[in-house]
Structure 1
């Protein structure tokens, strides 16, 4: 298998070479499928993982997330980043410890967000910056490049204020974050405003929430990384729900359709780590 250091260097290089897609598996099988398709790096989805355990987002512990990360890191040869929520604690020390544990789990990147866990409430920008700075300091002590992403959650779990989101991202940039992320931006122009207001790589979540924008258009405005969050997991569960309801209700089998079969097995094989 490829070493963690080599994965880290490959992940770092992706952030320096234009716009790339960072899809989000939720288990070993989905990780290998995505690797088999040809993606160059992967990232966990907190919501996708939580729902696979039978709970909703923000209801899993740090120990659960780290165990999950170890599983996914060993599933493929690809670099793996992780959604580390708010660092699983309110203090800067909590964020630093989460980064240390993330590296020990095999991850080469991870995000820290500024959502407190209370509906609609973000950390004060000063404390939020301190939390990112502590995570950066922990990252500096690692023996390989770890891409630390700092998230401004205004449009997801706080007040959807673009000016405040940009101010937060600029503060996290000053604190030393490697990548910046404000999930849920509403328009392509909002995304452009974020990109032109900072000088670090910017991640977006499937483009603006106002519509589907091709990756090429996002790259044109300067986006460096595009993630999908829980979308793939939700689509998979949605297909299962639809099929199960049809079977439970009318008892028909229209859901059978075009099952992946051999294609699925082929992708799993392609995504399996190489020996050596």
Structure 2
């Protein structure tokens, strides 16, 4: 069984209250911490990696992002999925090849660019090409950006989800969806649902699982929380 097979299997058979929790490492050292803590898989956050490389989110050159993912993958034995934003303008086949070269078992792909939602049918067609190129070698998490772009209608998120699942996405991620509507989204979406969690407030991963999350990720939250802790340590050194 490959690491991609292991990763896909981790999404199956989840019961309410027991979602797959995927911490987001931003470098090799943080990846080792999470793996040593016993998490069965990891999912890199593009914004967290960007911060570790000295960039704003969305400004990391593709080569630097893939190199960062490769370092994280090499540092741990558990499967690692990579947030590769909108795919960096790469053709689906090239994107898949780059992900496989660095050892990623999956990818997170956004459906907006420069703050604007993509046409869902065109994006679904692109996802289908990614699926065809990847076969079963990658777990595709299709992000749905409606809520983060100010579209509060759950129906639109559900419609996009249906298109992306039909295109071959293994999981969908309605980023920014209010926790209270998760049961509605869960009822309308086929297959696994990724939900983002905060690290210091809001529903816990278990509570999000009760509301419909198959898996829980944290975006750049863990990296930002670690940075806050480091600032406190640094301030203490000056006393």
CA contact (8 A) 1:139 1:148 kept: no
Pairing 1:120-135 to 2, within 5 Å after superposition: 121-135=116-130
Q: 1-side partners of 2:109 and 2:126: how far apart?
A: 8
Pick aligned residue for 1:179 from 171, 177, 190: 171
Stretch deviating more after TM superposition (232-241 or 39-48): 232-241
1:87 deviates by 1.0
Structure 1 gap segments, 5+ residues each: 253-276
Q: 1-side partners of 2:220 and 2:61: how far apart?
A: 18
Q: Does 1:7 align with 2:3?
A: yes
Q: 2-side partners of 1:45 and 1:196: how far apart?
A: 27
1:53 deviates by 1.3
Compute the RMSD of aligned alpha carbons. Answer: 1.8
1:246 deviates by 5.4
Q: Which runs of 4+ in 1 moved over 6 A?
A: none
Task: Determine the structure 1 residue equivalent to 2:21.
Answer: 21
Q: 2-side partners of 1:220 and 1:30: how far apart?
A: 28
Task: Determine the structure 1 residue equivalent to 2:97.
Answer: 100
- TM-score (norm: length of structure 1): 0.79
Larger Rg: 1
Pick aligned residue for 1:220 from 179, 185, 210: 210
State how many pairs are aligned: 233
1:26 deviates by 0.4
Question: For 1:82, what is the secondary structure of its paired residue?
Answer: strand
- TM-score (norm: length of structure 2): 0.91
Structure 2 gap segments, 5+ residues each: none
Q: 2-side partners of 1:215 and 1:20: how far apart?
A: 9
Q: 2-side partners of 1:213 and 1:55: how far apart?
A: 30
1:158 deviates by 5.3
Stretch deviating more after TM superposition (225-234 or 192-201): 192-201
1:245 deviates by 4.4
Question: For 1:69, what is the secondary structure of its paired residue?
Answer: helix
